[in-house]
Amino acid sequence: MIINSRTLNAGASLEYDLCIVGSGPAGITLALELADSKKRICILEAGDRKASKTDLQEFFSGDNVGLPYKLTDCRSRQFGGTSAQWAGYIAMMDPADFEENPVIPRIGWPISFASLLPYYRRAFRQLGGGAFEFDPDRLSGPQHERIRFKADEVTSKIWHFNIVNFAEKYEKFLDRSKSIDVYLNATVTRINLDRGSGRVTSLTATTSARAAFTVKAKTVVLACGGMENARILLAQRPGSGPAFANDHIGRHFMEHPHYFHCASLLLFGRQAESGLYHLPEADELVGKTSLCAFFQVGAPIRKKLGWPNAVFRVQKAPTGIKLSKRISMLLHGLYQGEEAMERLSRIVIMAEQFPNPDSRISLSDKRDAYGTPKIRLNWQLTAAEIQKASRSTRFLGMKLGQNGLGRLQVEEWMATGNVTGHVNYGWHHMGTTRMALAAKDGVVDANGKMFGLDNLYIAGSSIFPTSGCANPTFTLMATTIRLADHLKPQLV
């Protein structure tokens, strides 16, 4: 059932077997996976059915002391969470993203890609995908030919697309559910502990500046996103136990640096017509699954040279850009005896950010209407990462030429690594409660359980130890389904 918390009596006390904080893709995915457990589950959502601009400003504004980042636009305070803003990009991280890498000065994942693969399959089904296929060779065909480079120095990474608004898709199911209650306008402001047992006893959820209620639960899962998970935990520090004093909380904030229109790509010959590299238009992403391939420097090359992972997204050139007659004549000369084809596109890079403890979320001196400190964001990229992204772009251009596939004209600011004013982001908040084998290296264990507390778990992209270059939604759903399997025996 979906309930407006403001209809509850002030001071009400509720009891559940499992309490999930957040109704975004992670929170709803977890609830759906456990719906048949016959245990009582509640979801606490800070927002209402629809987002309020006033609330976004009040609760999501804060201090930004690092790279430019608009804090009020990058989160969602509403039923369904960020799925209301999700562009539907469904991509797996790469096996190499899970492995220890001597170039990255932080540990890798305590789980493997192979162990997560079955959960990727289950997440794909939940998103309404068709055949679970991410191999470009198997998807290649006459009209969707894979563009091949010698020795796989440059490969093709497949992404699927299907925009799914979790609120719209699951609202009726949740409203009719007898085992799951969703409480709207319920902002968690306090995690109450029994210090003797090392367990969470209850959560305090605030409904207005003057009213609150309590939820007692055997198990609690925070699923509020990469910023809010850290914010809630950091806000508990005064007078709390050692679990909330873990210095990794809020650190290693990672994004996917985006570099828009950093190069112009000219493909020629048969390669120009391959539909495998055509990014779907926005109206093609709603209500149906489609796919596209992006270029990617091969993992052995990246590991050898210490480059971050990245995908090179091919986008249509804007209206008004035309090839000159000279280029067209050149193409006809290169491809005598067959129809000359050309395709001019622009390149967008979405790059990996290496984990960095100084790139972090902390708390501002400012407080919101419920008295919780606001976020202080210090997003940092190192000069080395930027230069390596620049080198990988030039590497792509060199390999296009050497393989006779086309040409890449790199913008001067990207070629020199002088990207000031050109760094963008994807609202991908990762790493602030990272997964590790021990508390000295992270905040949660391999199952998402917070170190030092027996019944507090964290779900979502905040647990990612590394970021890879894939949109995080698909991976956070897979790790959440894995968490659900871990919790099922406890809910018997």
Task: State pLDDT tens for residues 67-96.
Answer: 999 999 888 899 999 998 888 899 999 999
Does 20 or 287 have the greater pLDDT score? 20
Residues 18-44, mean pLDDT to the nearest whole number: 95
Q: Given the structure tokens 């367990």, which residue do they identify? A: 199
CA distance 56 to 214: 24
> pLDDT for 120-144, tens place per residue?
999 999 998 788 999 999 988 877 8
Block residue for tokens 């507390």: 453
CA of 191: how far to CAs of 44, 225, 243, 349, 404, in Å? 13, 17, 12, 40, 60
Q: Which residue has the tokens 């055997």?
A: 218
- With a CB cutoff of 8 Å and minimum separation 6, the contacts of 110 are 435, 436, 437, 445, 446, 465
* Best CA proximity match to 83, nearest among 129, 151, 28: 28
Residue 489 has pLDDT above 50, yes or no: yes
Rg, C-alpha atoms of the chain: 24
pLDDT above 50: residue 337:
no
State if pTM tops 0.75.
yes
At 324 the pLDDT is 41
Q: Looking at the predicted structure, is the pLDDT value of residue 330 above 90?
A: no
Supply the pLDDT for residue 449. Answer: 98
pLDDT at 27 over 50: yes
Residue 24 has pLDDT above 60, yes or no: yes
What SS3 string covers the chain? CEEEHHHCCCCCEEEEEEEEECCCHHHHHHHHHCHHHCCCEEEECCCECCCCHHHHHHHHCEEECCCCCCHHHCCCCECCHHHHCCCCEECCCCHHHHCCCCCCCCCCCCCCHHHHHHHHHHHHHHCCCCCCCCCHHHHCECCECCCCCHHHCEEEEEEEECECCHHHHHHHHHHHCCCEEEEECCEEEEEEEECCCCEEEEEEEECCCCCEEEEEEEEEEECCHHHHHHHHHHHCCCCCCHHHHCCCCCCCCECCCEEEEEEEEEEEHHHHHCHHHCCCCHHHCECCCEEEEEEEECHHHHHHHCCCCEEEEEEECCCCCCCCHHHHHHHHHHCCCCCCCEEEEEEEEEECCCCCCCCEEEEEEEECCCCCEEEEEECCCCHHHHHHHHHHHHHHHHHHHHCCCEEEEECHHHHCCCCCCCCECCCCCECCCCECCCCCCCCECCCCEECCCCCEEECCHHHCCCCCCCCHHHHHHHHHHHHHHHHHHHHC
| Distance between CA atoms of residues 459 and 479, nearest Å | 8
User: Can you tell me which residue has the tokens 């112009």?
Assistant: 264
pLDDT, position 237:
83
Residue 340 has pLDDT above 60, yes or no: no
Question: How does pLDDT run across 176-232, given as a tens digit for each residue?
Answer: 999 999 999 999 999 999 877 789 999 999 998 889 999 999 999 999 999 999 999
The pLDDT value given to residue 320: 39
Cα 142-143-147 angle, rounded to 5 deg: 80
Residue 393's pLDDT band (cuts 50, 70, 90)? very high
The pLDDT of residue 353 is above 80? yes
Structural domains in the chain, sorted by start: 1-125+165-255+356-380+428-492 (3.50.50.60), 128-161+257-351+382-422 (no CATH)
CB-based burial of residue 10 (10 Å sphere; 0-12 exposed, 13-18 middle, 19+ buried)? exposed
pLDDT tens-digit series, residues 257-301: 999 999 999 887 777 778 898 876 655 555 556 899 999 999 999
Bigger pLDDT: 238 or 55? 55
Query: What average pLDDT does this structure show over 428-446?
Result: 96
- What's the CA gap between 253 and 228, in Å, rounded? 12
Q: Beta partners for 349?
A: 259, 312
Q: Is 3 exposed, middle or buried (0-12, 13-18, 19+ CB in 10 A)?
A: middle
Categorize the per-residue pLDDT at 105 as very low, low, confident or very high, splitting at 50, 70 and 90: low
Q: Which residue has the higher pLDDT, 117 or 141?
A: 117
Structure-token pair, residue 298: 């091969």
* Chain mean pLDDT for the chain: 90
Write down the residue that tokens 């407006």 correspond to: 4
Least confident interval from 274-283, 367-376, 417-426: 274-283
